[in-house]
A and B are shown apart, each in its own frame.
Chain A
């Protein structure tokens, strides 16, 4: 158990809908990262937040957004869903915002299926 929690574990929805994925980081970690894992693209970095502020963006679509709240939990919002958005979404957390020795610990993921 990494200490990172994610809810829900599974989510099934229809195209065009909007969903929210939730992540609670490990106790003491200030940074939250979101990753998408699909069969064709592998694990791709989406976005990072540190202590409530956006720090880095990766391959995140404009239809997707995230935020980190004062209690440090984070939510990833996916809107106007398409079939191709079906994937595993992982949250990871680390202590610092950046650092070449900053280790990221992953949650169990949310499996999103768009029908």
Chain B
């Protein structure tokens, strides 16, 4: 599958801070997805993006589909302790999801 470069690898922030993470690819995707995974659980879909340039929000989460279709970012505003987890970007290519390596987020009260 295609390699997605996700950064940062980890973040350690205080409650209330905003968070930004991004994903880039050498390949074009027609759909970008952001998932969150808690320990021992499956990835949970946060936001799906279907059009280049699209900006979509889900509560405190905002994600954008890059104009080039080779990148996406996810912002979390006013972080809370339950935001802790691993966030994955994924690009949909044909049938399969290609995942980034994940951003591990730690939030201290």
Stretch at the interface among B17-25, B43-51, B74-82: B43-51
Contacts of B88 in A (CB 8 A): 43
User: Which B residues contact A (CB, under 8 angstroms)?
Assistant: 1, 30-31, 33, 35, 40-45, 48, 50, 88, 90, 92, 94-102
**A7: shortest Cβ distance to chain B, in Å?**
13
> In the complex, A109 Cα to B39 Cα: how many Å?
11
> In the complex, A24 Cα to B97 Cα: how many Å?
19
Q: Which of B30, B45, B99 contacts A103 (CB 8 A)?
A: B45
Q: Which 3 A-B pairs have the closest CB atoms?
A: A106-B42, A56-B95, A100-B30
The answer to whether B30 and A90 have CB atoms under 8 Å apart is no
User: Which A residues contact B (CB, under 8 angstroms)?
Assistant: 2, 4, 33, 35, 42-45, 48, 55-56, 58-59, 90, 92, 97-98, 100-109, 111
Contacts of B31 in A (CB 8 A): 100-101
The answer to whether A102 and B92 have CB atoms under 8 Å apart is yes
The answer to whether A108 and B42 have CB atoms under 8 Å apart is yes
